[in-house]
Amino acid sequence: MTTAAIDNARLENFVMRTIGDLTAAYTGLMVSIGDKLGLYKTMAGAGPLGAKELAARSGCAERYVREWLNAQAAGHYIGYHALSDTYELSPEHALVLADEASPFFIPPAWNVPAAMWFDEDKALHAFRTGEGVAWGDHHERLACGVAAFYRNGYKASLVAEWLPALEGVQQLLEAGVDVADIGCGHGHSTLFMAEAFPSSRFHGFDTHAESIQQARGNAAKAGAADRVNFNTARAADYPNKQYSLICFFDTLHDLGDPVAAAKHAAEVLAPGGTIMLVEPFANDKIEDNLNPVGQLYYTGSCLICCAHAISEGGKLVLGAQAGQARLAEVFRKAGFTHFRRAAETPFNLIFEVRR
């Protein structure tokens, strides 16, 4: 123990901060339960509801519902009206908690920390040995949580904002070209593009067989199986179809050898083709990422992104907070000469890359 003088005010502030973080973890479980039981959807647009009424409408037990409501009210996720002993979900909070089509919908994201906790023993082993943990070796809730977390954000921005920010790409897609989506996961990003550009052909690749199976099912449901195909392949060995657009959606930093992936992209890219690189938002300096978004991404990077990159050999472990300068260097080493930040959001950086 340190013998330095203790600043009691500083100690108290930090204790309360840790209690706040602990409370957030508890709240995440409450959000997941509220989502899966349809409690938020029942409250959305319904105005003030008592615990008994909400329980009846949702088919749940009143005593549990009341305690859940109080937990949510204490966290200001829902409002409480003391005079009428009722609870209300505001329209703004409904966009975050009840509307599955909203770009702000967050409940499925709590599957990710749930998987992290489930895999704690694997993380401890990795820390002690330096070994990696492959994406497919995590609990199944990880893939589902990540896919759901990114899905609505991509749906809101990919076709409407990101693709138009790339010079000439939208016109090529409208005319009809081949497109590769590397690390496609459940295929949401691939299918959003396929729906918007029916003249083009889309090819999704991922090393995770279970995700590819899910992507094929999503393509069948969307009626796009004739223009979209999904196959297992690594980022450095997928087939050469001279793609006019190659996409890396929050994937490059997960790879064990991102330079090799960039070199392969250069080999299979059609003349005049473009790479769209989407990466987690990060500044180049660590001190500029010390904020809630950085905290979220560094944590995920530690337990998921770096772990997977190491499992693939770890020649260059970028991590989820790589920043523009390091990403540009990857493509420079692969022979690309054009690297431009085309767009950004609070959570993502979007780059246009060309030879």
- Domain co-membership, 130 together with 210: yes
- Domain co-membership, 188 together with 256: yes
CB atoms within 10 A of CB 347: 15
pLDDT of residue 150: 87
Q: How many structural domains comprise the chain?
A: 2
Look at residue 242 and tell me if it is in a domain.
yes
Domain end residue (candidates: 70, 99, 128): 99
pTM check: above 0.75: yes
Look at residue 105 and tell me if it is in a domain.
no
Amino acid at residue number 191: L
CB-based contact 202:227 (threshold 8 Å): yes
CA distance 206 to 160: 25
- Domain co-membership, 91 together with 190: no
- Domain co-membership, 219 together with 311: yes
Q: Domain of 193: which CATH number?
A: 3.40.50.150
The boundaries of the domain holding residue 60 are 8-99
pLDDT of residue 2: 59
Look at residue 104 and tell me if it is in a domain.
no
Domain end residue (candidates: 78, 99, 120): 99
Encode 156-173: b = buried (16+ Cβ within 10 Å), e = exposed.
Answer: bbbbeebbebbeebeebb
- Domain co-membership, 209 together with 296: yes
Domain end residue (candidates: 69, 99, 129): 99
- Domain co-membership, 147 together with 94: no
pLDDT along the chain (355 residues), means of 10: 82 96 95 98 98 98 98 98 98 97 93 96 98 95 89 93 98 98 96 97 96 96 92 97 97 98 98 98 98 96 97 97 98 98 96 97
Per DSSP, the three-state class of 340 is: strand
- Domain co-membership, 221 together with 152: yes
CB-based contact 211:185 (threshold 8 Å): yes
- Domain co-membership, 198 together with 338: yes
Look at residue 2 and tell me if it is in a domain.
no
DSSP of 236-254: TTS----EEEEEEES-GGG
- Domain co-membership, 341 together with 248: yes
Q: Domain of 63: which CATH number?
A: 1.10.10.10
- Domain co-membership, 279 together with 324: yes
CA distance 300 to 298: 6
- Domain co-membership, 214 together with 292: yes
- Domain co-membership, 181 together with 269: yes
